[in-house]
Amino acid sequence: MKRLLALALAAVAAVAAATPTPAARRLPQLTFTATGDIALQPGPVEDYFASVKQDLRGDVVFGNLEGTLTDGGASKCGGGDPNCFAFRASPSYARALRDAGFTVLNLANNHALDFGAQGWRDTVAAVRRAGMITDGRPGEIAYAVAAGVRVAILGFAPYPWANDLLDVPAAEALVRKADRWADVVVVYMHAGAEGTSYEHVTGVRETFLGEDRGNPEAFAHAVVRAGADLVIGSGPHVLRGMEWYRGRLIAYSLGNFVGYHALAYSGDTAISAILHVTLRKDGTLASGSVTPVTLAAEGIPRPDGAQTALGLIRALSARDFGRRAMSLSAAGALTPPGG
């Protein structure tokens, strides 16, 4: 009886968290659009985003840059290891990203130093020259004001050149620091093992090729408790489910987005999505949606008329989170459970 009562109270609390008061409805709102991993290689950059550009709109448009924008530096794969991958494109490609609609690029990932410190510096300089901002370097918080809302974006990954995903107390402290200034705090995590065998969020620490990739669920829950209003993940190179936790959305992986002759683009690794989230100034969810995408020939994103991503996210969310799973309609609308 006590357990049934506790479950009933939890359900009521979830509905209450999802139902804004009249005052909350009048708050300024900010639309945040996010994609998964972007690995640029020399090629027809004018085509990379052409088919999805109409969906890359928002007050803040975020992408994870897997690789570098540099003409210099030494590749980390100098030894010729066939399992080593180093990505780079010309610094001029930053303009293509900005023209596509991106405003913030995350550098907290395993490819940020593919061409050493010089490649890293060149990438930051190219992004900023193009009018975008970066996040994810140690101690870095990207601050911006959009639509009358102060927003802070923090990127984390399990590497020394990034805000450390594995040091959860330090991550919580950095989120609290951001929250002291910002109305809305968004956390990005590059976390979890890679590939089609790792679509599920397990709640345990994940490793890949002997590398500690953290516990994505424990990390996401910790930063929400510290003040994050939205958590977005990538790294597994496949889509993962979406969870409603303490009145906040966690999207555990948005998969691949652009991987021209770089990332895999067959089977489930070709199923991608663009996430759109509108948050009120108090951090509560006003609306959300998912645009299904597929990586077509050569790893270039295209709209997916079959809407495969919607069914996959829906199934993964239900399987991994049960009552905490986000609801996803046939039209791609996101709503909290019980909402």
Q: How many CB atoms neighbour CB 139 within 10 A?
A: 9
pLDDT computed for residue 14 by the predictor: 47
**Which ranges of the chain have pLDDT less than 70?**
1-25
Longest dimension (CA), the chain: 66
Which tens digit of pLDDT belongs to each residue from 229-278?
999 999 999 999 999 999 999 999 999 999 887 777 778 999 999 999 99
- Alpha-carbon span 202 to 189, nearest angstrom: 16
Cβ atoms 299, 286 nearer than 8 A: no
- Alpha-carbon span 296 to 332, nearest angstrom: 21
- Alpha-carbon span 167 to 163, nearest angstrom: 9
Burial label for 80, CB within 10 Å (0-12, 13-18, 19+), is exposed
Q: How many CB atoms neighbour CB 315 within 10 A?
A: 14
| Number of structural domains in the chain | 1
pLDDT computed for residue 18 by the predictor: 57
DSSP 125-162: HHHHHTT-EEE-STT--EEEEETTEEEEEEEEESSTTS
Strand pairing report for 184-190 and 163-164: unpaired
Instruction: Give the CATH number of the domain where residue 112 resides.
Output: 3.60.21.10
Domain range for 224 is 2-335
Specify the pTM: 0.92
Which tens digit of pLDDT belongs to each residue from 285-296?
999 999 999 998
pLDDT computed for residue 7 by the predictor: 39
- Alpha-carbon span 164 to 145, nearest angstrom: 25
pLDDT computed for residue 84 by the predictor: 86
pLDDT computed for residue 25 by the predictor: 65
